[in-house]
Amino acid sequence: MKRLLALLATCAMVLGLTVLVSPPAAAATGCKVDYTITNQWSGGFQAGVKVANLGDPVSGWTLKWTWADGGQKVNQGWNGTWSQSGSEVSVTNTDWNRTLATGGSADLGFTGTFTGANPKPVAFTLNGVACTGTIGGEEPPPDPGPEPPTGTPVGINGQLKVCGVYLCNQYNRPIQLRGMSTHGIQWFSKCYNNASLDALAKDWKSDLFRIAMYVQEGGYETDPAGFTSRVNSLVDMAEARGMYAMIDFHTLTPGDPNFNLERAKTFFASVAARNADKKNVIYEIANEPNGVSWATIKSYAEQVIPVIRAADPDAVIIVGTRGWSSLGVSDGSNETEIINNPVNATNIMYAFHFYAASHKDNYRATVSRAATKLPLFVTEFGTVTYTGGGAVDRASSVAWLDLLDQLKIGYANWTYSDANEGSAAFKPGTCNGTDYSSAGVLTESGALLKSRVSTPDAFPTS
């Protein structure tokens, strides 16, 4: 299903080093920094920096540090605005991570060069206060641990698994996850912040947050480290609110997933290793294969899945299907090609996508048949045409949602964004504010989806 891309190009984020402009910011009262060298080569390295606010909430922040020997230089950083003067490095928040609540954190990263031994930096400060891991000399608060909040989708269901044709929870009972997908995070990053994720979890009562990381179209291939870090940050934000996070390797053009095979291996090796201990992560390894055979898609899947399994043996993995993840229907085929030649892996599901105004009875008939043989997940759908635009087809949308509820097939709606298109949940300009739930900001599509997603889940626990 094609997306309207040209009109979004002006929203692309410019990455790299810029001149630092300090924002107005309140003093921090306590902070902690974890600094890790994640990769190193001759004369160069990549590092991750996690800053945690241990004190009062901070809106607007600058993190600084000094190199121990002055032989290091930042080349390119992400998730902040970076600069370096002599041996001192400064990084200032972006719009989407401006606020650090008590206990909140920001994941940053950069690539750089070095001479000598490349020691770790010293003297970290947040808004001028030394990051000693304490608050005013007191011991830091205890680490709350990885457990999600009780009563949330993840808190109730825990680690998911595939059982038969269903997605099952920790009690081996079939469940249905209902939620929303981001638009391309390279264009709509401002839509995914603490306020919008709070609204999705608490007001929309969403079970699922799909993170659409385009590979082309100004996405991952332009800055692998930066996009990987942004995805990990969004996984953490979903986890903190007890929602499942679906990491979507959003391939669209070109349609052959093998074009991105090496990128996929690199990306999934990284995110699987980093998130292996989490219970809320689902991996979607190829968004919408198109113009290729099922055998080609299957080959790709059987090369990428082992990479994830090496780090994360338990997580559910979703495989895209032929014809823009239509089980082959959009290419004149059907589900039998998968039934007769399934991917050689366990704990996997197959993706199905539809757009309600374009895909109707014959697509619904295929899903009804396939659901008796294959574990399916609707990782993306829209209430409008396959272009992402046009009027909402309410009758077809409701028919689809009723069918998915009946079959216990999970879904993520395209999109939790304020894109100027019919599929967006919010009216244009909504993401410049803090309201993501009221009738005044919702489009017709958004109002329909919020009314469906927010109904009680009644997850089985015995």
Of the candidates 288, 335, 337, 421, the residue annotated as catalytic is 288
CA distance 130 to 397: 54
Here the tokens at position 102 are 């008590």
Confidence of residue 187 (pLDDT cuts 50, 70, 90): very high
Question: Nearest-CA neighbor of 189 among 95, 312, 309?
Answer: 95
| Active-site residue flag, 288 | yes
CA distance 352 to 182: 17
Question: Nearest-CA neighbor of 144 among 198, 208, 94, 101?
Answer: 101
Delineate the domains of the chain, giving CATH numbers in brackets.
31-130 (2.60.40.290), 153-453 (3.20.20.80)
CB neighbourhood size of 124 (10 A): 22
pLDDT score recorded for residue 29:
65
Strand 99-100 and strand 58-59: pairing? antiparallel
| Active-site residue flag, 380 | yes
If you average pLDDT over every residue of the chain, what do you get? 89
Residue 357, classified by CB atoms within 10 Å of its CB into exposed (0-12), middle (13-18) or buried (19+), is buried
Lowest average pLDDT, out of 104-113, 273-282, 295-304, goes to 104-113
pLDDT, tens digit, 9 for 90 and up, residues 282-303: 999 999 999 999 999 999 999 9
pLDDT score recorded for residue 214:
97
pLDDT, tens digit, 9 for 90 and up, residues 189-229: 999 999 999 999 999 999 999 999 999 999 999 999 889 98
> Does pLDDT of 139 surpass 70?
no
pLDDT score recorded for residue 11:
37
Contact 217, 186 (CB under 8 A): yes
3-state secondary structure 138-206: ECCCCCCCCCCCCCCHHHHHCCCEEECCEEECCCCCEECCEEEECCCCCCCHHHCCHHHHHHHHHHCCC
User: Taking residues 356-374, what's their average pLDDT?
Assistant: 97
pLDDT score recorded for residue 304:
97
pLDDT, tens digit, 9 for 90 and up, residues 306-357: 999 999 999 999 999 999 999 999 999 999 999 999 999 999 999 999 999 9
Of the candidates 217, 239, 380, 421, the residue annotated as catalytic is 380
pLDDT score recorded for residue 297:
98
